Amino acid sequence: MTQQTVIAQSPIQQGVWSHEHRQLYALTGIRAFAACWVVLFHFRVQIVGLLPILGFLSPMMSSGYLGVDLFFGLSGFILAYNYLHRLGENGTWNDRLRFLWLRLARVWPVHFFTMNVAILMVLVAKTIGITTHGPNPVVTPLTYLENLSLTYVWFRQDRSFNYPAWSVSAEWFAYLLFLLLALVVVRVKSLWGAALGAMFCYAVLGAAYAMQWGPSLNITGQVALRVGLEFLAGCFMFRIWEQTGSEKGWRWLVAASAAGMVVGAVTIGRTDPHGVVLAPLLGLLILGLSKGKGLCVRVLSTRVVVFGGEVSYALYMTHTLAQGLLVKMLPVENFTDSAWVVRAVVLAGYAVIIAVVAVLTHLLVEKPARNWLRSVALFAKPNS
**Per-residue pLDDT reduced to its tens digit, 310-329:** 999 999 999 999 999 999 88
Q: What pLDDT does residue 321 have?
A: 94
Look at residue 130 in the predicted model and tell me its pLDDT. Answer: 73
Residues 327-375 have pLDDT tens digits of 988 999 999 889 999 999 999 999 999 999 999 999 999 999 999 999 8
* Over residues 373-383, mean pLDDT: 73
Please check the confidence at residue 36 and state whether its pLDDT lies above 60: yes
pLDDT for position 3 = 36
Q: Is the pLDDT of residue 104 over 70?
A: yes
What's the 3-state SS for the chain? CCCCCCCCCCCCCCCCCEECCEECHHHHHHHHHHHHHHHHHHHHHHHHHHCHHHHHHHHHHHCCCHHHHHHHHHHHHHHHHHHHHHHHHCCCHHHHHHHHHHHHHHHHHHHHHHHHHHHHHHHHHHHCCCCCCCCCCCCCHHHHHHHHCCCHHHHCCCCCCCCCHHHHHHHHHHHHHHHHHHHHHCCCCCHHHHHHHHHHHHHHHHHHHHCCHHHHCCHHHHHHHHHHHHHHHHHHHHHHHHCCCCCCCHHHHHHHHHHHHHHHHHHCCCCCCHHHHHHHHHHHHHHHHHHCCCHHHHHHCCHHHHHHHHHHHHHHHHHHHHHHHHHHHCCHHHHCCCCHHHHHHHHHHHHHHHHHHHHHHHHHHHHHHHHHHHHCCCCCCCCC
- pLDDT value of residue 135: 61
pLDDT given at position 89: 87
Instruction: List, for residues 245-255, the tens digit of each pLDDT value.
Output: 877 778 889 99
158 vs 289, which has greater pLDDT?
Answer: 289
- Going by pLDDT thresholds of 50, 70 and 90, the confidence category of residue 77 is very high
pLDDT at 293: 79
Per-residue pLDDT averaged across 152-159, rounded?
79
pLDDT band at 126 (very low <50, low <70, confident <90, very high): confident
Q: What is the mean pLDDT of the chain?
A: 88
